[in-house]
Amino acid sequence: MTRVRHAWQTSRRLPLVPIIIFTIVVFVAIFAEAISPHDPNAMSLADRLSPPFFMSEGSTAHILGTDNIGRDVLSRMIFGARISLSISLLVIIIATVIGTTLGMVAGLRGGRLDAFLMRITDAALAFPALLIALLLAVALGPSFRTVVLALSALSWAPFARMMRGETMKIRGEDFVAQARIMGCSQTRILIKHIFPNVVNTLVVLMTMSVGLVILIEASLSFLGAGIPPPQPSWGSMVADGREKFATAWWISLFPALAIGAVVLSGNFLGDWIRDKMDPRLRQL
């Protein structure tokens, strides 16, 4: 009975809203072709600036309305979710691999190598991420690959800084000293002894980075340096409707709400995972 009660109390504290939002976005991104009511790039000047279905002039043919050239807003949001999640996933994977490797090596080796790697990390953290990503995107030209490269160029630095600190705390533990005495190489110590002990922190950092990457990608697309048209992107959709917000607010509002919901969900979910994985913060 005690275990059942504990399980029930734990389930009640689950961040259900963020989980539901992430589940919906991931489902929509995976099955975009199957659930999208229209071609996201199909134009219909006869249906341009059609309002959402709940307004007097709206139609269920276009549930969230159409933009200034007659493209279905809902369909573009669905395919925009795929682009945003794809970019976020690739950037986080690249940043995790680079940042974790550099941070763990610096934390374990110490000395001049640590100082050199951390000065590079400090330099990367000192620059405004959006500004550098914007400069790289403008220099290389807007494209999916350019956005991934631009965001990855600076996203690794927080991972490196965090993993270096975690590694420095663990390298003084007895099990690491015993591994050294047994003749284990530093590579084996990193992979077999240190990495399993920093996974919890890494998962939290990855989760909380999802919203940030999506926000920066949307900002780049909003400024015209992200995903090039006619590919749908939440940021470019917000930009498309900014000049007509007074009369056709739905063009910008719905993708902006989607960006906000995903960013907040990522932050809340990351906080919850951190509290659950850190016994000092866990509330039973």
112-165: pLDDT as tens digits: 888 899 998 888 888 777 777 778 777 887 788 888 888 888 788 999 999 998
Q: What percent of the chain has pLDDT over 70?
A: 93
User: Cβ(239)–Cβ(251) under 8 Å?
Assistant: no
pLDDT at 3: 53
For domain 70-277, give the CATH superfamily. MetI-like (1.10.3720.10)
DSSP state letter for 14: S
The reported pLDDT for the residue numbered 1 is 46
Cβ atoms of 83 and 232 within 8 Å: the answer is yes
Q: 95-112: per-residue pLDDT in tens?
A: 999 999 999 998 888 888
pLDDT tens readout for residues 174-219: 888 888 888 778 788 888 888 888 888 888 888 888 888 888 888 8
Which pair of structure tokens corresponds to residue 113? 């190598």
pLDDT in tens, 11-29: 447 788 888 988 999 999 9
What pLDDT score was predicted for residue 5? Answer: 47
Dihedral of the alpha carbons of 78, 82, 88, 92, in degrees to the nearest 10: 140
**Segments making up each domain of the chain, as ranges:** 70-277
Per the model's pLDDT, the better-predicted residue between 190 and 276 turns out to be 190
Q: For position 27, what pLDDT does the model report?
A: 93
CB-based contacts of 71: which residues, under 8 Å, 6+ apart?
A: 38, 40, 41, 42, 43, 44
pLDDT of residue 194: 86
Across the range 243-272, mean pLDDT stands at: 87
Residue type at 148 in one-letter notation: V
Identify the residue whose tokens are 């159409």.
66
Distance between CA atoms of residues 195 and 190, nearest Å: 6
Q: Tell me: the pLDDT tens digits for 66-90? A: 988 889 999 999 999 998 888 888 9
Per-residue confidence band for 284, with pLDDT thresholds at 50, 70 and 90: very low
pLDDT greater than 50 at residue 62: yes
